[in-house]
Amino acid sequence: MNTKARYIVNADGKPVEVTRSVPIAAYRRLIATIGQRDPDAGRPLKKSFAAELLRQEKDYAAGKRGKPWTQVKRELGLA
C-alpha cells in the first residue's frame, strides 16, 4: 500500500493537513462503517451469547437487578 504523505497548505504556505493514499476499497469500507450506527449490526451472535442476553432481559423484566455499584466497589477493594 502506498503511504506517501501529502500536505495541504493554507494561503500562507503553512501545512495544515496531512493526507495519505488509501486504497479505494479500504476507504469505502471505512466510510460505510462510519456511516452505520452499529458496525456489528447484522452479524450473527454466538448462540451462547444470544441465550445469555435473553436470560438477562427476562431477569430484568422480572425485576431482578444486579449488584449495586457501591457493593461491587467494596468487593473489589475499590471503596
Question: What are the two backbone dihedrals, phi and then psi, of residue 5, each rounded to the nearest 5 degrees?
Answer: -80, 145
Which amino acid does the sequence have at 49? F
> CA–CA separation, 19 vs 13, rounded Å?
16
pLDDT at 32: 79
Q: Which three cell numbers stand for residue 58?
A: 427476562
**Per-domain residue ranges of the chain:** 1-43, 44-79
Which amino acid does the sequence have at 57? E
Name, in order, each residue with C-beta under 8 angstroms of 23's C-beta and a sequence gap of 6 or more: 1
pLDDT at 62: 92
3-state DSSP of 10-36? CCCCCEEEEEECCCHHHHHHHHHHHHC
**pLDDT tens, per residue, the chain with 79 residues:** 555 667 788 888 888 877 777 778 887 888 877 776 776 777 888 899 989 999 999 998 998 888 888 999 999 999 8
